Structure 1
Amino acid sequence: MASAAQDATNMPNVENYTFRSTCAFTTSVYFWELMGRPLVESLCVPEIPSLEGCSTTQFMDFLIAQSNFLKFNDGNIYNTIREIEGAYIDFMDRISGDENLGTGIEFLLREHNHGGATAAWPMHSDQPRKSVLITEVLKVGSLVKDWAQRNALVSASVGENAVRRLMETKESYEMRERAVRLKIAIHRSMDEGGVSCMEIDCFMAHITK
């Protein structure tokens, strides 16, 4: 929590970094909307779902309270890699002026480590917008249920059609091909000399100097 690190600013040779557990896409889109949705070259932003219903009022109040302590922040660490979300990390670089590193790949590895397409079924929090990254930006998955229909019951036929789209269509073959390329890019980035590996090494060298 940001509030837990505020006292560190008074310690010698200490810097505070914020770990952004969601992907860079959802964070950058949030700030892009706050800026009035300006035209940004190289930033792909498809139609995105509303934030309505994504989080409880209590959780949003908690986030707002924590945001007051981000003034002590020296940089951000995103749960992504530059080879996948480089444009969104660069956008955050431009608007924040902080050091932004893409060194966490947990969600990408979990979803695409086996090179398979994803059935995206958003439930809460950042999932509705993360599903846009998967289905519209990376194009390695298919949407089971649209967020606008989140309160509607899902029929057996809807579930069946979603599975068929992932297994029996030309589109599914193309999604799997892209997912395999994504898997290769993820692992290459983490190999010695890869972008994420170098960023981690640079970050560790910086904080241990």
Structure 2
Amino acid sequence: MTTKYEVVVVIVPFPAQGHLNQLLHLSSLISSYNIPVHYVSTKTHTRQAKIRAYGLSNSNNIHFHEFSTPSFQSPPPNPNSNIKFPSHLQPSFESSYHLRNPVSSLLRSLSSTARRVVVVHDSLMAYVVQDFTSLPNAESYNFHSVSAFTIFLFLWEAMGKPFPIEAEMLENLPSLEGCFSPEFEKFVKSEHEYSKFSSGKIYNTSRVFEGPFLDYLSKEQISKGKQQWALGPFNPVSISGSIQQRHKSLTWLDKQGPKSVIFVSFGTTTSFSDEQIKEIAIGLEQSQQKFIWVLRDADKENVFSKDFTKKIELPKGFEERVKERGIVVRDWAPQLEILAHTSTGGFLSHCGWNSCMESISMGVPLAAWPMHSDQPRNTVLITKILKVGSVIKDWARRDELVKSSKIEKVVRILMASQEGEEMRKRAEELSVGVNKAVGEGGVTKDGFDSFIAHITRGI
């Protein structure tokens, strides 16, 4: 950066897998416009994001800044906790406060060599980037990692319901009770204070299926006149043959019939009790459907740590009995590639927003089993509004064990019924719409061009 006639973008993700992943993909998309991008995190989290990301075409144009934070005690995941929120990661979340000084130094340095510094920060990292306000040529944009539906309802309720909305949106709406730990709720509130300095908002979603909620978010009472852009999905929407060695799950999928396999994965922050794992195993076995089951514990603070990890036990003889129609994956699985595979016909998921976006963009319907955070309300969007999924576990009964009979029933509905076929058809139609939207002249591509034009205005 030797010229004053440049815009540089600084990306500051929240240190949790779903957030790291989304903003790394956004970095890649922005850098494709020949804009220098600086991705800021810790060494561990940057490595985690890179290793787990699929299809990063422009990562060579991204400058990675790996700052250190003081060490801290990190408890293991607790599979028997009443609240499924990953409280064991809270020390890591709070440790991110220590990034404020190094980020401030980086912004000052870039400010002296670039004409404009654009900070795109996770909504949970507003505290860390707050010093951009002292720089005359810096501006920030608040990135929301959840659905427009979920963030709109959260803001609308918090503001005392400032305008009427369609009644059906509020039918069977899950409460926020049990979604977060008290410590995390406090953390979110403190971050909210610093978000008011931003110049606009970015969402990893698409107008193709969240247009009405994006319109609600743009209303003056909520937007306060700030611009917003829906730039998702950030993940690649088409998958080409991987040049790396293919994962064993993909080789196995190659041998299965079209849309015959249900992919079972509960994200990076879910820990199940032994009893619940047994019920899932029995339900999958009794469903008689083909499956890939990713069976791994929740991420620890450092996913590369060599600490002892308990092997999750399955019912005796389970893997032998199902070997003709199912496989269990105990390591990291290439989720996007599995969802894109022609043999995958359904996704049993926790409904984290990354998983929802990837599933919709690949045209795969979902069996929804929300665990915490935005997932209960994402479930409503997926099953009641978009009608591309069915519910395994109702949020009102979140404390109950889900029996194998329920799992068997929902898996059969999704994979072997007319109802499931209709969901699959709707999911495929949304996928076609999303693919068109990211292409030349599409609403997402136009939105991206608009965002780039905005941050490079006058330059």
Which of the residues 16, 22, 25 maps onto 2:146?
22
Secondary structure of the structure 2 residue equivalent to 1:76: strand
Secondary structure of the structure 2 residue equivalent to 1:72: coil
User: 1:105 maps to what in 2?
Assistant: 233
The C-alpha deviation readout for 1:63-105, integer Å capped at 9, x for no partner, is 0000011220111101101121111111111021211110132
Which of the residues 388, 392, 397 maps onto 1:140?
388
Partners of 1:46 and 1:137 within 8 A in 2? no
| Counterpart mapping for 1:25-36 below 5 A | 25-34=149-158, 35-36=160-161
Name the stretch that deviates more: 81-90 or 3-12.
3-12
Partners of 1:102 and 1:196 within 8 A in 2? yes
| Counterpart mapping for 1:1-209 below 5 A | 1-34=125-158, 35-36=160-161, 38-40=163-165, 44-94=169-219, 95-96=222-223, 97-106=225-234, 107=354, 108-209=356-457
Residue 151 of structure 1 deviates from its aligned partner by 1.0
- Determine the C-alpha separation between the residues in 2 that align with 1:42 and 1:111: 27
Q: CA RMSD in A?
A: 1.8
Equivalent residue pairs, number: 209
Larger Rg: 2
- List runs of 5+ in structure 1 lacking aligned partners: none
Residue 44 of structure 1 deviates from its aligned partner by 4.0
- Determine the C-alpha separation between the residues in 2 that align with 1:43 and 1:19: 28
Q: TM-score, normalised by structure 1?
A: 0.93
Secondary structure of the structure 2 residue equivalent to 1:142: strand
Question: How has the CA–CA distance of structure 1 residues 158 and 140 changed in structure 2, closer, same or farther, with 3 Å as cutoff?
Answer: same
- Determine the C-alpha separation between the residues in 2 that align with 1:63 and 1:41: 28
Matched to 2:452, the amino acid is M
- List runs of 5+ in structure 2 lacking aligned partners: 1-124, 235-353
- Determine the C-alpha separation between the residues in 2 that align with 1:89 and 1:112: 18
Name the stretch that deviates more: 184-193 or 100-109.
100-109
The C-alpha deviation readout for 1:133-176, integer Å capped at 9, x for no partner, is 00011110011110111111111101001101102322212111
Give percent identity, aligned residues only. Answer: 44
Partners of 1:77 and 1:104 within 8 A in 2? no
User: Which one has the bigger helix percentage?
Assistant: 1
Partners of 2:174 and 2:377 within 8 A in 1? yes
Matched to 1:17, the amino acid is Y
Residue 42 of structure 1 deviates from its aligned partner by 10
Residue 109 of structure 1 deviates from its aligned partner by 3.8
Structure scoring higher RCO (CA < 8 A, sep ≥ 6) equals 1
Partners of 1:20 and 1:76 within 8 A in 2? yes
- Determine the C-alpha separation between the residues in 1 that align with 2:394 and 2:151: 20
- Determine the C-alpha separation between the residues in 2 that align with 1:171 and 1:39: 33
User: Which one has the bigger strand percentage?
Assistant: 2
Q: TM-score, normalised by structure 2?
A: 0.44
